[in-house]
Structure formats: structure tokens, C-alpha cells
Structure 1
Amino acid sequence: MADLLPLLGFAIAGSVTPGPNVLMVAAGAAGSGVRAVMPHMFGITFGFSAMIALVGLGLAGPLAASPTIHAGLQVVAVLWLLWLAWKIATAPPPGEGPARPPMNFVQAALFQWVNPKAWMIAGAAIAGYTRPGEALLPQVLTIALVFGAISMPCLLVWAGLGAGARRVLRDARSLRRFNIAMGVLLALSVLPLLR
């Protein structure tokens, strides 16, 4: 197994940088508060750690071998992310119309399978931080555990930013702009898939 310090740095960078998960957490916390997005955050943490373990233990091979499955997953990911971007951008500010609740634990865990950033990070982590010739299971489990330990603190940063935006953006017009900005950023995250 490669040194844990570089893996830790990669896990922090991969978990805290903008992507679908953190943007949805920030938007959810801005609209509903940090407590309301906790199940979503735990779902991301569990779902992504499980994804790393499954990808690392062999699921990536069959998926990569089938161009049809790969293309299908990309189409599903793009459509799903664009739909989520629309829902975030058009979400009403708190107290104005029915608010869309954040994802629950199961939804957030399952979302990882159509999240392009999650696939890229999982693949890079397995390829970069395992060593051929060494037992794969302990290496993959270590990577999954490191990402699991790093995930919640990184998500809390974004939930705090969203909750802070909620306090700063006191009027409905400002909150609507914030939601639109989060939705646009999420929509832009699909650009790498459109190459």
C-alpha cells in the first residue's frame, strides 16, 4: 500500500473540491439548514466508500469492458445531473412555496453511482494507491476507510457555507440567485462527460 499521507491529501482534495455532492449539500443547507442535510451527507459518505470498495474489488473491469454500458451510464449521469441542477436552480427560497427536501440517506448513497466525479475519483484512487503484487482487499478497504473518514468533515465545510449563505442572503431574491448559481455550477459539472 502506498504511503497514507499522499492518499489522505488526495482524499481531502477529491472530497472538498466542487462537484455534485458538495454543491447539493451547500444548496440543501442554504434552504433547509445543516441538520436537514445530515442524512444526505451520511448517505454520500457511506455510498462513496462502498463504491470505492466495489470498484476496487473488480466492478470497474466489466463496466470498462463494455462501451455500451459505459455510454449508457454517461447518458444517465448527464440527464440526472441536469435534472438536479434544474431542481436546485428553481427551488423556492425558504418560506416561499413548497421546499424540496434534501436527499435522504439511501438516495444520496445511490446517487454516487451516477455521479461522474465519484467515478473519476474512485478509479483514480484505486489505480493510484494500490500496488500490484500486494493483497488487493486490504489496500482497497484502506482507501475506502480513508475516504469515509475524510468525507464528513469536507461535507460539513460545504454545509456550513450553505448555512452561512442562508444567514447572509436574507431576502428571497438573494436566496433565489444563490440557488440559480448552485444549479448552474452543477450543470457545468457535466461538461467533462460531453467530450
Structure 2
Amino acid sequence: MSTEPGSQPETTPGPAEAAPPKRRIGLVFSVAVLGFALDLVTKVLVVSNLEGQEPVRILGGAVYLQLVRNPGAAFGMATGMTWLLAIVAIVVVCAIIWLAGRLRSAGWAIGLGFVLAGAFGNLIDRLFRAPGVLRGHVVDFISVFAPNGDVWPVFNVADSSICVGGVLIVLLSLLGKDYDGSSARGAKKEAA
């Protein structure tokens, strides 16, 4: 510490002056690549092994594996609007890629990585599967508690990724955790 007149004492930065958390772009893309790879591999296996087959009962009937080609969105919505769903997926993918460089929260990075994996997985189906570009049908294959989606609509790994990521993001938001690593609850306490 300097003792010269007019000099400032050396201090360590306080919590408000600490460096911001590191960016989480690598985490977003790591989760997205793993989720997309799992989705792609499972769809390839399902198409090659379940085409024209009866549903396969596993886990005592808790899950049935069967190939369903879905022209719409979840729960049978937007059938015939595959092109619009493809455009929405493109927008979602672009928005997440744009936001990824601004992320400083590991939780948000994981959540958005899951959403990116799912959106990209289903987008690939809509772009490259029959009947054609922007009209391709998504490969779904998981039916729970009964075959043919009688209890719950048939879904795939991409759909599950979107749901897991969405739930995580909503949970973080409810807990006041922002994508930039800040905490809305901490800001409210400081303002009070």
C-alpha cells in the first residue's frame, strides 16, 4: 500500500465490481450437438428397424416404440402447415444462436442448448424428409402407456429436448435467474 499524500489505497473489487461470469456459448453448443446427435441416431434406427412393423412394447407397456410420420406439430396441431413450422424452427434456431454469445448463465445455456437441439432436429426432418423441402414429416416414435398415441401423442427425442429446455428456462425465470448471469431477486433486494 502506498503512503504518498493524495494516493488511493489499494482495494480488491467488491461483488458488484467483480468480473462478469464467462460466456456460455460452448456449453450451449455442446448440449445442442449431443441432443441433436441422440435425436438423429434414434430416428435413423427407428426408420431402419420399425418401418412397417407393429409397435414394440417395452418397460412392461409403459412405452411403445413405433414409427409415426408427423406432418404437424405436437398434439396433432397445425397439420398441413409444415412449411410454417419449418420457418418457425429456423427463426428459433437463429434466435438461440444470436443469444448464445450473450449468455452468462450455465442454466440458461443448458436450457437453450436443449431447445436448440430439438428445434434443429425437427427442422432437419422438415427440410430433408418426404414429401419435400419445408414439407417433410417429422419422425416420431415414442408412445407412452399405449400404442398409437392413445394416451399421449407420439413424440421423439427432439420434442423431449424442447420440453426439458423450456421447463428449465421457465424454472430459472421463476427463480429470478437471468440469461446474463444476473439475478432479478438480488436486484430487488438491493433496490429495497
- Would you call these one fold, judging by a TM-score over 0.5? no
Higher strand share: 2
Higher helix share: 1
Q: TM-score, normalised by structure 1?
A: 0.30
Q: TM-score, normalised by structure 2?
A: 0.31
